[in-house]
Amino acid sequence: MSRWVWCLPLLLVLLVRAQENRVTFLPGTFQNVNVSQNETVQAVVSGIPPGVAFVTLQFHTQHRNATLSYTRIPAAGLSLTAVDVGLLSALQPSQITLSLFLSTPDGDTVTGTGVILPYSSTDPVPGACNIEFNLDVDPNVYIHYNLYETTIRFAPANLGSERGRPPPVCDESTGSDTRWRLQYDIYQHFLPENDPSESSLFNGLKAVAEQGRTANSRRI
């Protein structure tokens, strides 16, 4: 009697998952971060005081792009890629921690420095009246320059609000109790002459963020 033996093909599935690390940020403290190839770094913000209504996470590199995202997998409208990136997060009542994600869009190792800047409900919310850029709230300043001129673009700010409360409407009116009362000043900070190093750049960022814009910069 003949016997047939069926040999089913063996299917091997290889799942490649990016390695993930965690880096903890404290509000107002700079943290150097190294993002390796095919790695996602979870930026965890902890110890947020109750008086903070929203925070921005900034991440700066010298040359290479980095992606900062609200989600583990970057998506349009929820992430930004540049050498200088920032995302704003409004806080809910009783919230004391949050997470954002850093990755390398070009597959190269990226070294940079990041900082969490806290804001109260009475502070303006940068980029909260955005209608031009991809993020719903875009706190970034976009700079383009050549030998002759420098162009600065940014989304208008909105007035602050308490945790859990809806923000003021941006363009319902132009009264003195709306975001139209806000004025914008531009300050220029010079790095040490003939020192294009990464450390010089990072020290300049820290000086402006930690010691105040007016103390270390010139109003233009």
CA distance 131 to 126: 13
Asked whether residue 10 is domain-assigned, the answer is: no
pLDDT the model gives residue 119: 95
Asked whether residue 11 is domain-assigned, the answer is: no
Asked whether residue 214 is domain-assigned, the answer is: no
Asked whether residue 82 is domain-assigned, the answer is: yes
pLDDT the model gives residue 215: 67
Per-residue pLDDT of the chain (220 residues; tens, 9 = 90+): 444 444 344 333 333 444 458 999 988 889 999 999 888 999 999 889 999 999 999 999 998 999 999 999 999 999 999 999 999 999 999 999 999 999 998 878 999 999 999 999 999 999 999 999 999 999 999 999 999 999 999 999 999 999 999 999 999 889 888 999 999 998 888 888 899 899 999 988 888 887 666 667 888 8
CATH assignment at residue 29: 2.60.120
Asked whether residue 1 is domain-assigned, the answer is: no
From first CA to last CA, the distance across the chain in angstroms is 97
pLDDT the model gives residue 8: 40
Asked whether residue 197 is domain-assigned, the answer is: no
Q: Are 82 and 110 in contact (CB under 8 A)?
A: no
Q: Are 155 and 130 in contact (CB under 8 A)?
A: yes
Asked whether residue 166 is domain-assigned, the answer is: yes
CA distance 207 to 99: 25
pLDDT the model gives residue 5: 42
pLDDT the model gives residue 179: 95
pLDDT the model gives residue 20: 58
pLDDT the model gives residue 101: 96
Q: Are 15 and 102 in contact (CB under 8 A)?
A: no
| Domain ranges, residue 125 | 19-184
Quote the number of domains for the chain: 1
Asked whether residue 113 is domain-assigned, the answer is: yes
